[in-house]
Amino acid sequence: MITLDCLGLRCPIPVIRLARAMPGVAVGEIVRVLADDPAAANDIPAWCRMKGQEFVAADGHAFDVRRVT
C-alpha cells in the first residue's frame, strides 16, 4: 500500500497528488490518501468514478483507492 500524506492541504491538491501517483502504482494496488480537507470526502470518490478507479473505503481522514487500469 502506498500512502499519500495530504493532511493540511486544501482542494484540489489531494486529488492532484493522487492523480500524479497513479502511473507509478501497480494494477490492483491500493493508494491511501490522508486528507483532512472536508472536500476530499466528495472529490476522491468523484475522481475515481471519472478515471475508472475503485474507491475502496473511507475511514476518518483516510481514503483508499485501488488502481484498476
Among the options 11, 13, 34, 39, which is catalytic? 11
User: Is residue 15 exposed (0-12), middle (13-18) or buried (19+ Cβ within 10 Å)?
Assistant: buried
Alpha helices in 1-69 (DSSP H): 13-21, 40-51
Q: Does 11 qualify as catalytic in the annotation?
A: yes
Please give the positions annotated as active site. Answer: 11
